[in-house]
Amino acid sequence: MYDQIAANKNKSWLLILLFLVVIALLGYAFGAYTGDYFGVLTIAGLIAIVMALISYYAGDKVALSLAGAYRITAEQNPYVWRLVENLCITQGMPMPKVHLIPETAMNAFACGRSPEHASIALTEGLIAKLENEELEGVIAHELSHIKNYDIRLQTLVVVLVGVISILSDVFLRSGRFIRGGRSSKSGGAGAIVIIGLVLALLAPLIANLIKLAVSRKREFLADASGALASRYPEGLARALEKIAADGTPLTRAAEATAHLYFSSPFGNTPSFLGRMFSTHPPIAERVAALRHMA
């Protein structure tokens, strides 16, 4: 389990490094035309950071509202409350706010910028259809997202995607690359124009693919961390199998919050393209990884 956790952490930061490489290349290509290598990059970064800060401090409220979640107390649902409380004690972390989602689909998510400002939400269908050890595995997975500061990492990813999107948009809207390509500049400058244009067209797609890859790696990490917390990987594996067999999508699923959920809120995605653009790895792969730990 510890090997799996370490490997997934390293892979996540490697994907973040790829983000920075794409930004550096795009910024260099744009700077080669304008003569200003830092101005546009700085402006794009500031805009993206402001947007990310809003998401960082208010994103949990938005996610809970979009899901239609309602908060519960220990008296209202002592079974779920005690499962969460016991796992928090085991992991030495603060108790998050506990919410239920009035959905028959089986899913859950955690949100919040830190363990001290966190919430966990479970669908009513998840609680009704899973056995005790299976539900405990799902809760342990979500608490691991909180303990591993996954929301903070995802905020960093949002900043990087925002920078790339803004830079690409500015570059494509500028007439400079057209004039530059038709001028009598050196072949080297013309090559940079062409490379910059191609990169500006492809960068948003590349950025989103990296963002999805980061999300999938963090799911593997949370599976491993959750199995370590519950000390019973089979419970989490069986929960995943039941969710895959059920395949019911959430009625209030949203693209903006899909990466937060325990499994894809849109149901099963069996096609190759569906898996490539999914926020979650295939359930079969997650189950195999968990059973390899047992």
Residue-wise DSSP of 58-96: HHHHHHHHHHT-EE--TTT-HHHHHHHHHHHHHHT-PPP
Higher-confidence position of 183 and 205: 205
Strand intervals (E) in the chain: 70-71, 97-101, 108-112, 118-123
Q: How far apart are CA 210 and CA 154, in angstroms?
A: 12
Q: Given this model, what pLDDT does residue 33 score? A: 65
Residue 272 has pLDDT above 60, yes or no: no
Contact 110, 143 (CB under 8 A): yes
Write the pLDDT tens digit of every residue in 55-109.
Answer: 778 878 888 999 999 999 999 999 999 999 999 999 899 999 999 999 999 999 9
Q: Say which of 103, 142, 219, 285 is annotated catalytic.
A: 142
Domain extent, residue 50, equals: 2-293
Contact 120, 142 (CB under 8 A): yes
Residue 157 has pLDDT above 70, yes or no: yes
Higher-confidence position of 34 and 89: 89
Contact 134, 235 (CB under 8 A): yes
Q: Given this model, what pLDDT does residue 184 score? A: 43
Overall average pLDDT of the 234-251 stretch: 94
Q: Given this model, what pLDDT does residue 21 score? A: 77
| Number of domains within the chain | 1
Q: Given this model, what pLDDT does residue 278 score? A: 80
Q: How far apart are CA 226 and CA 230, in angstroms?
A: 6
Between CA 116 and CA 142, with CA 136 as vertex, the angle to 5 degrees is 40
3-state secondary structure of 202: helix
What DSSP string describes 233-262? Answer: HHHHHHHHHHHHHH-PPPTT--GGGGGGBS
Position 121 confidence tier, pLDDT thresholds 50, 70, 90: very high
Residue 263 has pLDDT above 80, yes or no: yes
Higher-confidence position of 88 and 181: 88
Q: Given this model, what pLDDT does residue 201 score? A: 74
Residue 274 has pLDDT above 60, yes or no: no
Q: Given this model, what pLDDT does residue 273 score? A: 54
Q: Given this model, what pLDDT does residue 42 score? A: 72
Query: Tokens 């809970």 identify what position?
Result: 64
Q: How far apart are CA 129 and CA 215, in angstroms?
A: 26
Lowest mean pLDDT among 51-60, 87-96, 133-142, 155-164: 155-164
pTM of the prediction? Answer: 0.78
Q: Given this model, what pLDDT does residue 54 score? A: 74
142 given a catalytic annotation: yes
Position 45 confidence tier, pLDDT thresholds 50, 70, 90: low
